[in-house]
A = this chain, B = another copy of it.
Amino acid sequence: MSERKPTTALFSDPLRVVNLGLSSFAETLRASRVPVIDVDWRPPAGGDAALIRIIDNLKSDDEHAWSATITAANEKAIEHLLSAEPHLIGIGIARDVVPGMTDRTLLHAGPPITWDAMCGPMRGAVMGGLIYERAASTPDSAAQLAASGDITFDPCHHHQSVGPMAGVMTASMPVWIIENVTAGNRAYCTLNEGLGQVLRYGAFGDEVISRLNWMQNELAPILSQAIEKHGPIDMRSLLAQALQMGDEGHNRNRAGTSLLIRELAPFLVRLSEPSESIARVLEFLHSNDHFFLNLTMPAGKCALDAAADIPGSSLVTVMARNGTQFGIRVSGTGDRWFTAPAPIVDGLYLPGFSAQDAAPDIGDSAITETAGYGGFAMAAAPAIVQFVGGTPQLALDTTHRMRSITMAESRSYQIPAMGFRGTPTGIDVLRVAETGILPAINTGIAHKEPGIGMVGAGLVTPPFSVFADAARALAESLGKQEKDQMAAS
């Protein structure tokens, strides 16, 4: 039963308006109390006509689907991501387990960067890392060493690793070892230090160094033994439960941390270590609701690494920031980084701090969003808005919006409030470039000066250009592939 409305109804019925684009277009109507629905419309491909043509050329006859080559490559890539089974298998010392790690290597978050170009908190963390390694005894001598050229700086991502915020990993640091048992590859991450005055936020004072020493000498050996007794811990199961308990796996990890504690506690108690040491370990875990973050990150990393380097695939495999540059990698373009200046985070600040104190966006923790949780699962964690700002509705909207730029829904990570739908998983760089809808990342905020630490947390919008650049490069690689095939035939 469909009835056509007479045209005159447009004039006799009350006005109801759908506004495309900037919300301010409809201000006059709103002032006259006309109901207006804002549609956050953006011109395709950011209005870049050349990019529109490039993207259109990658489509199949069905204008909503990509070419057969891309579709096949993406099916393969997303299946690797969705079927990954990250297991926590143990703790090792970076120099012993992280590929390519040496006593003179210092890993950091984000795309490659030199000492000169590093932001304040990353410099602070580098200085702290060198003091922790006893390669320098003061912040000044550490800065000199860092500038001397004797230290090899390298992204964590080049070593199957990830690091939150500054992401500094040095040779003596204990690291989580996560294995993707589906594909057999591994990922590594340091142990989380807690909030406030901590290395990853660029602090390097005595408190920071002695905590790192304690983590190396007591926390890690004890946890390592407990994990050995327990056997591998299925991170997918823990994270799936945590998402049903108000976590999103990036900035809210209270449930995940709790689940890890209860899983390990009986095994900790049975160790033949002094009970005072075991109690200190349990107290440290209890005092740090972010402890689980350094497990969700390498869990995401080893899942995404399994989906990397598939020619033709538009799956984003890395989003990472070094506090100076925001960078991404895409499966079909392999190791290549696409970078742009790191943006400023829009967030809530700790008392006494404001946006003027903030360093630009920093950290490998956006690996969580890349893997389909974190900001992409905000709907599972409405309480997080008390930490990063916004409203519970924003949390729902964010997850909903991410469905437009992702390839699939997670088969493991569900959102009860959305009828148990899977989290939006697998960013399609071509969809981002086409729609201009950018991945939603929630993150901590470091002070812009070295040595200070955390000042807040919030939401950040990545630069569009990195996705546009990657889309162009992917298109080029596909063109080249076709030419090679023609030449070979």
Contacts and interface: CB of A to CB of B under 8 A. Distances in A.
A417 interface: yes
Contact of A382 (B14, B254, B270, B417): B417
B12 A6 contact: yes
A279 B285 contact: no
A275 B275 CA distance: 9
This chain: how many copies in the complex? 2
A255 interface: yes
Contacts of A280: 266
Contact of A14 (B3, B15, B392): B3
Contact of A258 (B12, B259, B266, B270): B259
Interface string A248-276: 00000011011101110111111000011
A303 to B, nearest CB: 23
A53 interface: no
Contacts of A262: 257-258, 261-262, 282, 285-286
B416 A246 contact: yes
A280 B265 CA distance: 10
A418 B396 CA distance: 12
B286 A276 contact: no
A79 to B, nearest CB: 27
A33 interface: yes
A419 interface: yes
A276 B282 CA distance: 17
Contacts of A278: 269
A283 interface: yes
Contact of A245 (B245, B279, B385): B245
A26 interface: no
A244 interface: yes
A282 B255 contact: no
B34 A1 contact: yes
A361 to B, nearest CB: 25
A32 interface: yes
Contacts of A257: 262
Interface in A396-418: 416-418
B269 A269 contact: yes
A223 to B, nearest CB: 14
A23 interface: no
A265 B264 CA distance: 11
A13 interface: yes
A467 to B, nearest CB: 31
Interface in A263-312: 263, 265-270, 275-276, 278-280, 282-283, 285-286
A237 interface: no
12 contacts: A1-B15, A3-B13, A245-B245, A261-B261, A265-B265, A266-B280, A266-B286, A267-B279, A269-B279, A385-B416, A392-B419, A417-B417
Interface of A: 1-3, 5-6, 9, 12-15, 32-34, 241, 244-246, 254-255, 257-259, 261-263, 265-270, 275-276, 278-280, 282-283, 285-286, 382-383, 385-386, 391-393, 416-420
Nearest first, the 8 closest Cβ-Cβ pairs linking A and B are: A382-B416, A258-B258, A383-B416, A269-B279, A244-B383, A266-B282, A245-B246, A266-B279
